[in-house]
Amino acid sequence: MDEVLLVNEVGPRDGLQNQKVLVARSDKLRLVRALVDAGVRSIEATSFVSPKAVPQMADADELFPLLPNAAQVDYSALVPNLRGLERARAAGVREVAVVLSATETMNQRNINMSLAQATAVCAETLQGAVGAGMRTKAYVAVAFECPFEGPVDPAIVLALVEQMVRAGAREVVIADTIGAADPRAVAKLMGRCAREWGADRLSAHFHDTRGFALANAWAAMEAGIRKFDSSLGGMGGCPFAPGAAGNLATEDLVLMATQCGFKTGIDLGLLRVAIALAEDLTHRKLGGRSAAWLDKQAQLQPVAGAV
């Protein structure tokens, strides 16, 4: 097998957004540089949201123009509305993402909008981005279960995906925002989406609240999905979703993909260097489920090759 698995590193945005330690802009750039050095070529770098709502992202306007290797790395940014889109354009962003929660209550609690209002804002923002010549993606959040309403009807998710595609989303990311999905549910939903819109238009975003993130990623891979969000060291979680633990760890995803014959272009040894830096910057221990094994392998064979 020589298939490519695309890893979209979300640590600099989703990973940092709710950390208690405020990370300086210069340190964020160091972290991004370490990821690029490890071979990561798709990175969600920041979000152009209200600084009051997410203080960690308050430097988005100044950060984005300074990102390294812009010609070789696909950098994206989250934008909540047209105002955020204009800020992103001014900062030189070429790919933007909108986030639409699949339930009424999640939208009300998160952005104080109804589902219908949030859908309209996301569609308007996507259309604006397309008109500006930008690449576009749309997240459908809490696609499996909502912390307020419980399990989500797959028919609702499918309808929202269709609306985002019609609005101009080049890519749609199905997100298990609180880590409540299981592999069977993932296989069913991702399979239905892939049959409807094609697997190459889809991506997946998993959290590891119940320890299922890697198994869910495999279920999505079995459904044909070849692009995934992940965060170095499993860092992150949603500040607006109670119970949302850390993301699928990039090192776990890369290790599994490599062992199963997929190519990611990411050097696990250098990725561990980036994780160590993230630990220093956030003042907390990080690491996915493979961390102990990777550390042991590093002691036996210090130099890792690209995988």
* Dihedral sign of CA atoms 90, 92, 97, 99 in order: negative
Catalytic residue among 122, 146, 193, 238: 238
Cα–Cα distance measured from residue 22 to residue 4, given in angstroms and rounded to the nearest whole number? 35
In this prediction, what percent of the chain has a pLDDT beyond 70?
94
Which of the four pLDDT bands, split at 50, 70 and 90, describes residue 246? confident
Answer whether residue 171 is part of any domain.
Answer: yes
Is the CB of residue 247 less than 8 Å from the CB of residue 235? yes
Q: What's the total number of domains in the chain?
A: 1
* Dihedral sign of CA atoms 45, 107, 167, 213 in order: positive
User: What is the tens place of the pLDDT at every residue in 9-42?
Assistant: 999 999 999 898 999 999 999 999 999 999 999 9
Answer whether residue 29 is part of any domain.
Answer: yes
CATH number of domain containing 137:
3.20.20.70
Q: List, in sequence order, every beta strand (DSSP E) within 243-288.
A: none
CB atoms within 10 A of CB 166: 11
Which of 125-139, 209-223, 287-301 is predicted least confidently? 287-301
Answer whether residue 307 is part of any domain.
Answer: no
Q: Is 238 annotated as catalytic? A: yes
**pLDDT for the residue 303:** 47
User: What is the tens place of the pLDDT at every residue in 42-76?
Assistant: 999 999 999 998 999 999 999 999 999 999 999 99
The pTM of the full predicted model, rounded to 2 decimals, is: 0.94
**pLDDT for the residue 304:** 47
Answer whether residue 258 is part of any domain.
Answer: yes
Answer whether residue 306 is part of any domain.
Answer: no
Answer whether residue 94 is part of any domain.
Answer: yes
Answer whether residue 103 is part of any domain.
Answer: yes
What the block records as the tokens of 110 is 């998160």
**pLDDT for the residue 241:** 58
**pLDDT for the residue 236:** 87
Which of the four pLDDT bands, split at 50, 70 and 90, describes residue 199? very high
What the block records as the tokens of 88 is 């992103």
Answer whether residue 1 is part of any domain.
Answer: no
